[in-house]
Structure 1
Amino acid sequence: MTTNLPRRAGIGLKPVHYHEILEHRPDIGWFEIHPENYLCDGGPPHRYLEAVAAHYPISFHGVGMSLGSAEGVCKTHIKAIRQLCDRYQPAQFSEHLAWSRNDSRFLNDLLPLPYTIETLKVVTTNIQQVQDALQRQIFIENPSSYIDFKHSDYSEPEFLNLLARQTGCGLLLDINNVYVSACNNGFDPYRYIDSVDTTHVGELHLAGHRIESLPNGQKLRLDDHGSEISKPVWQLYKHVHTRLAAHLPVLVEWDNNIPPLATLLAEATKADRLQQGHCNS
């Protein structure tokens, strides 16, 4: 899978770190942003993003395209994202396998999809529309899930593999999401990884999650991106590299309880070293 990002770790670009990044120029491979945070015409967000983009590759990770919407993708949103892509020329663009729009109303969540033949047709059409509009390949991220649908025609890896083959999109393999979903829904995360066609994978994500206790005593893992990466996720990350033909860009996600920049850089350094096979978790 071709990727235009450096094949090393990156982190999310957070406003709290703008000044430190520009002053010290840390040794990091790239930065990711959510383009929906930059749909304004100007102001401080663009001023800082332009300054950072002058020194580092930037990846756009969308959260509002709603690729699973049966009513199709919002043309106004696509147009706004296309204008932002034209302005910044991001090295990569990715989105989620989810839906967040119904009857022209946007919901502040990434909602899951049943993996059916009908859903495959809908998502395939929407991905092709987005790729045509942006004139670029996009990468699709596997979601975190908390409950299974009663009926699906495909497993999640089968569905992702089919999407990539039918649309030419790439896959963004979120390893924390795999682990969270596996724990919540009772499947083997290693078998999941082994079922993904890694020739389509062009990016990896790592993140922290938290554990909540339910009234019935069961444990629920929540993909909150608010803590350091857990040991089981690091172990699964190492397993992924037994199946990859080459190093890949890998993002350390941390969107809540944002720590000092040094903490993020340390997690990114660990991700790089593990990928290179130079340290043990």
Structure 2
Amino acid sequence: MPHLPQRAGLGFKPEHFHDLMARRGQVGFLEVHAENYMGDGGAPHAMLTALRADHALSIHGVGLSIGGAQGLNRDHLDRLRKLIDRYQPESFSEHLAWSSHGAEWLNDLLPLPYTDETLATVCAHIDEVQTHLGRRMLLENPATYVTFQASSWSETDFLTEITRRTGCGLLLDVNNVFVSATNHRFDARAYLADFPLGAVGEIHLAGHETEELPSGPLLIDSHGAPVADPVWALYAEVLDRTGPLPTLIEWDNDVPALDVLLAEVARASDLLGHATKGQADAA
């Protein structure tokens, strides 16, 4: 199975289509949200088809509800399979979260208690997805704002066990680690020391917003700001341990001009270059 290049990529936004076509090769790969391309035709597919000719592609799902207690939506799975067959992306990923309850669909990625029951459900759903799609998927660690007293697993152990049982890979969102660590007052570096980095197939970097509460800062994973310096520092430390990995700059809200995003891509590329040099020096 093909892999994403070990370069910095960018989430594709339609307003950047013409600039990207004129600057081919400036980003290592493009990523799109699956649910935006589940129609049969129209401008979204015309643009993605043109870009796919010159770019590696990652498809990132936000609607499978992998952690939902009910079964996966078969119609959604069928449309996802059709999309993946059409574009043959180098990577497909989803979130460790739930989004549906009964017939209700919630436009959010909601957290899960880390229990044996949840683990069995998530693993069964990942097995179903990988079988239906005929490929290995990546699972993204969440940004969270609450924890559950019922949890009997740490998040890193939970993710490690998922990879062991299902063979799936992981998408490490470094901003999500920093957001959760700040919100729940734990050490992000200790979390990353326990994270199964050998299973990581892609990294995400994004911006966040800060609200000051009487109890301390609350970070919101907004995807609407530059990557924060502490997140860049954590990212560099991860690369020191893993070597270069495909890295996406996510910016989904208040989307700026392409040049602003390319500056973020360039910063990630510099760190990837240092990681590649460090890997070569150590060989």
Q: Which moved more, 1:130-139 or 1:144-153?
A: 144-153
Partners of 2:268 and 2:17 lie apart in 1 by 22
Aligned-residue offset at 1:218: 2.8
2:205 is the alignment partner of 1:223: no
Letter aligned with residue 200 of structure 2: V
Letter aligned with residue 138 of structure 2: F
Aligned-residue offset at 1:24: 2.8
2:129 is the alignment partner of 1:135: no
Cα pair 1:35 1:60 within 8 Å, conserved: yes
2:146 matched residue in structure 1: 147
Per-residue CA deviation, residues 101-146 of structure 1 (Å, 9 max, x unaligned), is 1113211000000000000000000000000000000000000011
2:163 matched residue in structure 1: 164
2:252 matched residue in structure 1: 255
2:230 matched residue in structure 1: 232
1:274 matched residue in structure 2: 271
1:49 matched residue in structure 2: 48
Per-residue CA deviation, residues 129-168 of structure 1 (Å, 9 max, x unaligned), is 0000000000000000112111211111100000011100
Aligned pair count reads: 275
Aligned-residue offset at 1:239: 1.1
Partners of 1:85 and 1:20 lie apart in 2 by 25
Letter aligned with residue 238 of structure 2: V
Partners of 1:50 and 1:135 lie apart in 2 by 22
Aligned-residue offset at 1:3: 6.5
Letter aligned with residue 166 of structure 1: R
Partners of 1:40 and 1:127 lie apart in 2 by 24
Identity of aligned residues (%): 49
Aligned-residue offset at 1:247: 1.3
Query: For 1:200-215, what aligned pairs fall within 5 Å after superposition?
Result: 200-214=199-213
Moved over 3 A (4+): none
Partners of 1:30 and 1:242 lie apart in 2 by 22
Letter aligned with residue 255 of structure 1: D
1:71 matched residue in structure 2: 70
1:16 matched residue in structure 2: 15
Aligned-residue offset at 1:243: 1.9
Per-residue CA deviation, residues 160-189 of structure 1 (Å, 9 max, x unaligned), is 000011100001000000000000001100
Partners of 2:2 and 2:121 lie apart in 1 by 26
Per-residue CA deviation, residues 211-247 of structure 1 (Å, 9 max, x unaligned), is 0123x35321000011111110011001112221x31
State the Cα RMSD in Å.
Answer: 1.2
SS at match of 2:240: coil
Q: TM-score, normalised by structure 1?
A: 0.95
Cα pair 2:10 2:248 within 8 Å, conserved: yes
Aligned-residue offset at 1:26: 4.6
Cα pair 1:182 1:189 within 8 Å, conserved: yes
Partners of 2:161 and 2:250 lie apart in 1 by 27
Cα pair 2:111 2:146 within 8 Å, conserved: no
SS at match of 1:180: helix
Q: TM-score, normalised by structure 2?
A: 0.95
Q: Is there any run of 5+ residues in structure 1 with no aligned partner, and where?
A: none
Aligned-residue offset at 1:23: 2.4
SS at match of 2:122: helix
Partners of 1:189 and 1:213 lie apart in 2 by 19
Partners of 1:253 and 1:152 lie apart in 2 by 29
Per-residue CA deviation, residues 10-55 of structure 1 (Å, 9 max, x unaligned), is 0000011011111232511000000100111111111001000011
